[in-house]
């Protein structure tokens, strides 16, 4: 998965989110060994960008389970 490039400058972004979302971001940070919540959000944006680009190209986005079962993802 390509990472979003770090720029030499950055700007703060304030986000309001409910406690459940914040807790999930913290869980993802811990599970993925991310350095920060910002890194989790950057990774999420990179994934979303990749999926949206595929959708724009009219690609199908499919998740395949270990047992071969497939699920079509709709954006």
Sequence spans of domains, the chain: 19-73
Burial status of residue 51 (CB atoms within 10 A of its CB: 0-12, 13-18, 19 or more):
middle
Q: Among residues 16, 19, 18, 39, which one has the least CA distance to residue 28?
A: 39
Look up residue 44 and give its two tokens.
């999420």
**pTM beyond cutoff 0.85:** no
pLDDT value at position 7? 66
Question: How far apart, in whole angstroms, are the C-alpha atoms of residue 39 and residue 33?
Answer: 10
pLDDT in tens, 28-52: 999 999 999 999 999 999 999 999 9
Q: Which of 48, 54, 46 is nearest to 3 (CA)?
A: 46
């Amino acid at each position: 998965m390509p990472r979003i490039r770090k720029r030499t400058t950055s700007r703060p972004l304030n986000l309001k989110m409910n406690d459940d979302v914040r807790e999930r971001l913290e869980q993802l940070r811990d599970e993925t060994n991310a350095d920060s919540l910002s890194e989790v959000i950057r990774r999420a944006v990179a994934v979303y960008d990749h999926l949206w680009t595929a959708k724009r190209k009219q690609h199908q986005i499919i998740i395949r389970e270990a047992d071969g079962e497939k699920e079509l993802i709709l954006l």
